[in-house]
Structure 1
Amino acid sequence: MDLFDDLPEPTQTSGPPPSAITAQLQTAPDEEEDRRLKRRREDAEEEKKDEIKKVCREGLPRLKGYVAARRGEREEMQDAHVLLPDMSSCLSSLPGHVSSVSYFAVFDGHGGARASRFAAENLHLNLAKKFPTGDNENLDKLLKKCLLDTFRQTDEDFLKKASSQKPAWKDGSTATCVLVVDDMVYAANLGDSRAVLCRMEAAAADGQKKLATLALSKEHNPTIYEERMRIQRAGGTVRDGRVLGVLEVSRSIGDGQYKRCGVISTPDVRRCQLTANDRFILLACDGLFKVFSADEAIKFVLNVLQEASVEQKDDLTEEELRFEAACQQLASEAVRRGCADNVTVILVSVCH
């Protein structure tokens, strides 16, 4: 707004005649009335914006996260996770017309638990600092850049801390995070932890809805052609499906000793809009997917959700109890099937 909007027009330098002074005094109340009307219009516009946001929020999916973690046969739990169904408290402000932001992430550490814990503690904070603000027409593009910058920053910060230790830390970690902005999912991942979406597609001829398992992440291991080529161009080698015969993943946070061999911290970022047919998002470390295919895991969860009996608890609804049971049973079943690795499962229910 022009700071001089409400000032009277400049008058002649020799001084106004008495009649002009009288006229100015007479118009002063009119100017005050104009200002009052202007303030009312601005207040009305703010109320309208708030009402639009409220209507948008009411039509958006409600997300709730559930987690189950098993140590398996490992001596140490090296996985970490974060559930932030409402991330707005971490943000200085939300972009225009954005009503809600949620964040869920799983980190699978190797060589120790320090990289996974560091990522769990810091990645979402770096994301909050870099999050777009204001009215942005190209929010999608800005959010993708924000995620890329966030992963790079988190990796650099951990490597700096790791190299300053005596002896230097050699920990590394996968990272799979799901950022939900209103009804748009942005999935970013490094390594072999995965995220999948359960969608019940339109009814078939027999009236049954068809199950679709949508991959939200991309696996990064050195046996994949593009990953192997990058490692070899950087002077590294791939033996027995591992970087230098040791590291199972080709992208990660940490792993400072492998960064010179083409191991990078640039995530794949995928975008997907939630629909009324979506039931839940599953995030899990590779411990689960060593003994379950993505389709099998989704069907296992659906079977538990459809079971008739659940033990009632005062603070949880029946739907919440079913998701909690499905999450716990899936992690336990992975261990029962012989997975000796750490297993972490996050289920994010999508309610409309």
Structure 2
Amino acid sequence: MGICVSTASAETHEVDGGNENLVRIQDALQNNRILRLDSLHSQQGNKGPNQDAAILYQGYGTEDGTFCGVFDGHGKNGHVISKLVRNRLPSLVLDRKNALSALNATVNQDYGDQEDELSDDLVPNKTFREWKEACLSVFKVIDKELKLHENLDCSCSGTTAVVIIKQAEDLVIANLGDSRAILGTMTEDGLVAVQLTTDLKPSLPKEAERIKKNSGRIFSLKNEPHIQRVWLPNDNFPGLAMTRAFGDFKLKNHGIIAIPEITHHRLSVNDQFLVLATDGVWDVLSIKEVTSIVWLAKSEKEAARAVVDAAVTAWRSKFPTSKMDDCTVLCLFTGEKSENAIPTNLI
């Protein structure tokens, strides 16, 4: 499937040996700009086609901007839906953000800039609120598009999404489902793993409350008591393991929503890298383990593959009789790695 980008100078590349699940877009006109080092890797599991998708767009929005997105499809058509969402989301969000900025500029010109007196060091500013509004609007639009898609059944299929939009030192983080984003940051005592998103699963009290208010049921199967799932009111079906997703329209009247949780993080000089990964990775590796693997990888370009390889090994060790899930990792390095900064411990 093609990638729709709004910048005419952007070049699109499939990565990882031509793997269509992974796409990198680079602004071709920014030749004098030093791009952030990054890596992408995906490994198909044993459940069928690889339903994961990922995109990394350098030069997104601003010269030093980056769009990072990881999508984990599920259900019969999950592999199609994850790519559809991946291909539509970046350009739609950017277009909506630019439209909001233009509108706000006109309003400020007419009435004067009445921006709240907020501390940029502590509180997200007007620009963040524009990105947030853009994400909320576009997630809703894409979900509606999927429902109206004539040749694609999304009744019991869908995809999660975890997105980070980097603009200079500001991160806009949009999370839908149970993929996850983390940050590796350096302290005097070693490397710290910081979880940037919350896994939106039925086991989370606030998520469970919404499901139950809408007559959805939550319970786990006997052969997997550690996994809570969402079921229809009067039918033991479909058993969705997350509470927010694109698609899954059978459950949209029973508490499943496509509204992302959106947060802000300002990078510091100590922040080293970001990792976005699907739940196939987090099911078997902790955030501390992933952070350590990324930091000790042979190179930044090999970091994502190193995490996926470790996850595959962990699956075989921890769940030898289970079918391995798809594992996809995106790494974006935000700091300069120094040989003298290799930590002796991980907190």
- What TM-score, normalized by structure 2, do the two folds share? 0.71
CA distance in 2, matches of 1:87, 1:237: 41
**Radius of gyration: which is bigger?**
1
**Aligned residue number for residue 190 of structure 1:** 176
Residue from 107, 127, 130 that aligns with 1:142: 130
**Aligned residue number for residue 109 of structure 1:** 73
Alpha-carbon spacing, 1:182–1:61, altered in 2? closer, same or farther (3 Å): farther
Matched to 1:266, the amino acid is: I
Alpha-carbon spacing, 1:65–1:156, altered in 2? closer, same or farther (3 Å): farther
Matched to 1:283, the amino acid is: L
CA distance in 2, matches of 1:269, 1:298: 23
Alpha-carbon spacing, 1:61–1:214, altered in 2? closer, same or farther (3 Å): farther
More deviation in 324-333 or 273-282? 324-333
CA distance in 2, matches of 1:167, 1:117: 15
**Aligned residue number for residue 212 of structure 1:** 192
Does structure 2 retain, via aligned residues, the 8 Å contact 1:105–1:178?
yes
Q: How many angstroms does 1:247 deviate by?
A: 0.5
Matched, 1:129 2:117: no
3-state SS in 2 of match to 1:66: strand
Q: How many angstroms does 1:167 deviate by?
A: 5.9
3-state SS in 1 of match to 2:193: strand
3-state SS in 1 of match to 2:191: strand
Give 5+ residue unaligned stretches, structure 1.
1-56, 89-93, 204-208, 306-321
**Aligned residue number for residue 255 of structure 2:** 262
CA distance in 1, matches of 2:296, 2:169: 26
CA distance in 1, matches of 2:152, 2:158: 17
**Aligned residue number for residue 200 of structure 1:** 186
Alpha-carbon spacing, 1:168–1:295, altered in 2? closer, same or farther (3 Å): closer
Matched to 1:177, the amino acid is: V
Q: How many angstroms does 1:276 deviate by?
A: 1.3
- What TM-score, normalized by structure 1, do the two folds share? 0.70
Alpha-carbon spacing, 1:304–1:229, altered in 2? closer, same or farther (3 Å): same
CA distance in 1, matches of 2:127, 2:310: 40
Residue from 78, 83, 86 that aligns with 1:120: 86
Partner deviation per Cα, 1:186-231 (whole Å, 9 max, x = no partner): 1111111000010102x2xxxxx43221221111111211111101
Matched to 1:267, the amino acid is: P
**Aligned residue number for residue 38 of structure 2:** 65
Does structure 2 retain, via aligned residues, the 8 Å contact 1:64–1:85?
no
Does structure 2 retain, via aligned residues, the 8 Å contact 1:61–1:351?
no
- Superposed structure 1 runs of 4+ greater than 6 Å apart: none
Q: Could you say which structure has the higher strand fraction?
A: 2
Residue from 157, 177, 196 that aligns with 1:171: 157
Q: Could you say which structure has the higher helix fraction?
A: 1
Matched, 1:78 2:41: no
Matched, 1:242 2:229: yes
Partner deviation per Cα, 1:258-280 (whole Å, 9 max, x = no partner): 10111001111111111111111
Does structure 1 retain, via aligned residues, the 8 Å contact 2:67–2:163?
yes
CA distance in 1, matches of 2:34, 2:270: 11
**Aligned residue number for residue 181 of structure 1:** 167
Residue correspondences, number: 261
Query: RMSD of aligned C-alpha atoms?
Result: 2.2
CA distance in 1, matches of 2:270, 2:34: 11
CA distance in 2, matches of 1:242, 1:215: 23
